[in-house]
Amino acid sequence: MSDSAGMVATGNALPPQDDPVPAYEVKFQRIGVAGAAGLQIRSLLDRQQYDDPLGEAEAAGISPACWPLFGQVWPSAQKLADLMQSWEIGERRVLEIGCGLGLASLVIHRRLGNVTASDCHPLAGRFLAENLALNGLPPMKYAVGNWAGSNPALGEFDLIIGSDILYERDHPQQLAGFIQLHAAPSCEVLVIDPNRSNRAAFNRHLAACGFTLEETPIDAPLDDGSAYRGRLLRYRRRSVTSDELM
């Protein structure tokens, strides 16, 4: 079903029984969340999985090599989920970009935050629905988010979050343009980045959009003790009131 903004409300329904049997394999795992109960997550078995019988992923610009990436539990996604367990959300509208399995969105949703998960992968919404069901959570908003395309129904958000989203050379410019379209005049952008080289270009593009940057190194291990090295990129922009202009 769709909400008033035209976004899909992803609930607990599983695929119809007459759906074709998928060619990919999945696994189930518990993902720890700092300061809260863990999440039960259905993910792809490994990075060798692929199934695009209708060419939906190809039409979205997703190559066979990139197809399984949405369905993996990435270290930076775990760090973003940890951060969202304690970050101040309040009444802000939150958008997770390139959500993949949507760990951070699930955490915010569990905290009763107003969050929309978004991704361009044709199966991201389905996996999100199944993971909501696994964790006994009610429906939440999901929208297709194509960074290089038009997303007129998406609207504006006060907080935009993402993890490990700068792994391609063209991502900084595309993503900055997407954020500029969907960021409210006063907006905070949080990105967990595993020290990828493309972040410098992303910093420049967001600076041109009026955002200031604060970087915080992250070196605490993951919940399972695995090492992690990265940083929190915190961008902020605020609108100027008429009184301040006088």
| Torsion on CA atoms 198, 176, 102, 194, rounded to nearest 10 | 20
pLDDT tens, 102-132? 999 999 999 999 999 999 999 999 999 999 9
Residue 16, in any domain of the structure:
yes
**Residue 208, domain CATH:** 3.40.50.150
In a domain, 3, yes or no: no
Helices and strands (H, E) in the chain, number of each type: 7, 10
pLDDT digits (tens, 9 = 90+) for 6-64: 333 443 334 444 456 889 999 999 999 999 999 999 999 999 999 999 999 999 989 99
Query: What is d(CA 105, CA 95) in angstroms, rounded to the nearest whole number?
Result: 8
Residue 245 has pLDDT above 80, yes or no: no
Asked whether residue 199 is domain-assigned, the answer is yes
In a domain, 1, yes or no: no
Residue 2 lies in a domain: no
Q: Has residue 40 been placed in a domain?
A: yes
Nearest to 116 by CA among 90, 97, 89: 97
pLDDT of res. 19: 58
Q: How far apart are CA 219 and CA 127, in angstroms?
A: 29
| Residue 184 is assigned to a structural domain of this protein | yes
The reply to whether 222 falls in a domain is: yes
pTM: 0.89
Residue-number span of the structural domain to which 91 is assigned: 8-245
CA dihedral 144, 201, 77, 9 (to 10 degrees): -20
8 Å CB contact between 190 and 83: yes
Cα separation, 7 vs 15, in Å, equals 18
Q: CA 76, CA 103: separation in Å to the nearest integer?
A: 10
Mean pLDDT for 193-205 is 94
Question: Number of structural domains, the chain?
Answer: 1
Tell me the pLDDT of the chain averaged across its residues: 89
pLDDT of residue 206: 96
| % of residues, the chain, pLDDT over 90 | 78
